[in-house]
Structure 1
Amino acid sequence: MPQPGLEEFRFDGIGTRWEISTPRALSAGVRARLLAVVEAYDGAWSRFRPDSTASAMAREPGRHEFPPEAAPLGQLYRSLYRLSAGAMTPLIGSSLEQLGYDGDYSLRQAGPPLAAPRWEDSLDWDGSVLTNRAPVVLDIGAAGKGQLVDLLGVELRQHGHNSYLIDASGDLLYSGPDVIRVGLEHPYDPARAIGTVDLAGGALCASAANRRAWGDGLHHVLNGTTGRPVSTAVATWTMAASTMLADALATALFFVPGADLERSFEFSWLTVFSDGSAAYSAGFEGTLFT
């Protein structure tokens, strides 16, 4: 989402395209630091890299030390696991692999849907230390990209860049003096928008069943209790102070009504369902086209 009059830094990382827009160009040193943050995050959490800490958990049980960002990530996942009755879980990786979204991106279903292991039976997550009692395929994609966006925002501010727009393939974190208008992508036609939202600061994230979809009815948003793709909601948008929270809640809306999530989290939201209806919070700062 290039912005007029802003300098752009574009790169690929964690399997997605990034654009960072700033009023003044980022120095070579700052760019190198941002890329290092992305590489470190990928090296810890990616289930697609055999050298990552997460991949070590898939090979054997044991005690695994992750970076400090693991603590708030684990707390958020634990809350959403409880609120969704196990439907949203970081242990969904084996279920995704079963349906073809594996480390080789084979996109070939290996068998019937497979429920994720129960967290309480398989994993202890204590701060930055994760201990698995059996091999588990960790997948923190529902909140991890958002958390990485936040970490890059911290890095920018530490180097004196207080105005910026970070766009991680549609997950946005904005800091600046103006309000920017963002289109809400149509869940069935990426070339169209179903509305707009004004972003004055903070994060805007989306999740949709048409993204990372393959095969007949197969996509990346799975119910952990069944291993099956969700079919009721087709797209969600969330606005929150942090991108990690907005990213996670955009997925949680596929399992838990927004009004219920509002009892535990401060955010605004929009959900579009497969029957064409929509629900949204009173505070959602958007306009839907008719």
Structure 2
Amino acid sequence: MPVWRFDAIGTLWEIETEAPLSSGLRDGVTITIARFDQEWSRFRPDSLVSALRGGGTIDAPRDAVPMLDAYRDLARATNGAVNPLVGAGLEALGYDPALTLRDGVPEAAPSGWERMLTWSSSAVSVHAPAVIDVGALGKGRLVDLVVDVLSDVPGRVIVDASGDLRVRGGTARVALEHPYDPTSAIGIAEVTQRALCASAVNRRAWGDGLHHVLDARTGLPVRTWAATWALAEDAMRADAVATALFFDGGAELARRWGVDWVRMATDGRVERSQGFAGELFLS
């Protein structure tokens, strides 16, 4: 099957279809990704979220309500461990626009983030200096938007953004990469008309034990769980749950949202939800 590979938002994308995509559809995908990046990337000085670093109000991007509503659920489920104002904490540890990747001083996200960040279908406001980061679910949301662009493409379509993928019109068997050995897998997931998103502490890692999955309450990288996988009807919720599973409350949120999951602890233990479709090689 034809596969279109390209780099965007700092990661490799692969789109597999039964026939090559037309130039018009490729342009549609490219435009969709570029728009999302210009709105939500904290790595771009010209993005909409960068314009809010010092506080202020912007016209709401079309994805603001679904994403920030989901963040509200994430934050409440994890007692604030996941929230969209974690950006300053990531930058304090060197995951900043310049990718300095330094050993910095941990910085907790502001408490009471729902009072600092407000949103509606018309506007997004930040009421004090803060750095918005939508990494807990943003890539999943973008995968869903790309799948929407390809809604009229016949047959099986797989959109894979390096660990966040969605399958439409068929089934794909996907290996669950071992977080400590990228040449092996801990199992296989059966993805049928669903999305599978993964997160792991060995990706976007630097320094002495530093990585991109922070507890927003402390600004410290998580230590208990090494990798997570989540299966949902859409990639945004799968991505969100894959992040939430690093914290207490993540499994309960998955149950409420109807998301199946697997997670592996740093000591090698593996847990899974009862409904996870696939096979595990570890127990």
TM-score exceeds 0.5: yes
Say if 1:186 and 1:194, in contact at 8 Å, map to a contact too. yes
Opposite residue 41 of structure 2, the aligned amino acid is: S
Q: Which moved more, 1:63-72 or 1:276-285?
A: 63-72
Opposite residue 179 of structure 2, the aligned amino acid is: P
Say if 1:71 and 1:128, in contact at 8 Å, map to a contact too. no
Deviations 1:23-81 (A, max 9, x none): 011111110110000000000000011110011111x2111123211111111001111
State the match for 2:163 in structure 1.
170
CA distance in 1, matches of 2:236, 2:246: 17
Q: Say how many residue pairs are matched.
A: 281
CA distance in 2, matches of 1:262, 1:109: 33
1:52 aligns with 2:47: yes
State the match for 1:3 in structure 2.
none
- In percent, how many aligned pairs have the same letter? 49
> Scaled by the length of structure 2, what TM-score is found?
0.96
Q: How far apart are residue 259 of structure 1 and its match?
A: 3.8
Opposite residue 187 of structure 2, the aligned amino acid is: G
Say if 1:204 and 1:246, in contact at 8 Å, map to a contact too. yes
Opposite residue 148 of structure 1, the aligned amino acid is: L
Q: How far apart are residue 144 of structure 1 and its match?
A: 0.4
- Where 1:89 maps in the other structure, the secondary structure is coil
Equivalent residue runs for 1:1-290 within 5 Å? 6-58=1-53, 60-110=54-104, 112-118=105-111, 119-127=113-121, 129-157=123-151, 159-161=152-154, 163-177=156-170, 179-290=171-282
Say if 1:258 and 1:280, in contact at 8 Å, map to a contact too. no
Deviations 1:130-167 (A, max 9, x none): 1111121110011000000000000101x434530001
CA distance in 2, matches of 1:262, 1:243: 13
Opposite residue 25 of structure 1, the aligned amino acid is: P
Opposite residue 87 of structure 1, the aligned amino acid is: A
Unaligned runs of 5+ in 1: 1-5
Q: How far apart are residue 96 of structure 1 and its match?
A: 0.2
Opposite residue 232 of structure 1, the aligned amino acid is: T
Q: How far apart are residue 256 of structure 1 and its match?
A: 2.7
Q: How far apart are residue 252 of structure 1 and its match?
A: 0.4
Opposite residue 142 of structure 2, the aligned amino acid is: L
Q: How far apart are residue 127 of structure 1 and its match?
A: 3.2
- Where 2:136 maps in the other structure, the secondary structure is helix
Instruction: List 4+ stretches of structure 1 deviating above 4 A.
Output: none
Deviations 1:247-272 (A, max 9, x none): 01000000134542244211100111
- Where 1:127 maps in the other structure, the secondary structure is coil
- Where 2:74 maps in the other structure, the secondary structure is helix
CA distance in 2, matches of 1:42, 1:73: 14
Say if 2:119 and 2:125, in contact at 8 Å, map to a contact too. yes
- Where 1:210 maps in the other structure, the secondary structure is coil
CA distance in 2, matches of 1:269, 1:257: 13
CA spacing shift, 1:211–1:15, aligned 2, 3 Å: same
- Where 1:76 maps in the other structure, the secondary structure is helix
CA distance in 1, matches of 2:226, 2:153: 39
CA spacing shift, 1:263–1:198, aligned 2, 3 Å: closer
CA spacing shift, 1:133–1:162, aligned 2, 3 Å: farther
- Where 2:264 maps in the other structure, the secondary structure is strand
CA distance in 1, matches of 2:177, 2:122: 36
Say if 2:18 and 2:155, in contact at 8 Å, map to a contact too. no
CA spacing shift, 1:172–1:86, aligned 2, 3 Å: same
Q: How far apart are residue 115 of structure 1 and its match?
A: 0.3
- Where 2:81 maps in the other structure, the secondary structure is coil
Say if 1:74 and 1:127, in contact at 8 Å, map to a contact too. no
Opposite residue 159 of structure 2, the aligned amino acid is: I
Q: How far apart are residue 117 of structure 1 and its match?
A: 1.1
Say if 1:258 and 1:281, in contact at 8 Å, map to a contact too. no
RMSD of aligned alpha carbons: 1.3
> Scaled by the length of structure 1, what TM-score is found?
0.93
Q: How far apart are residue 176 of structure 1 and its match?
A: 2.1
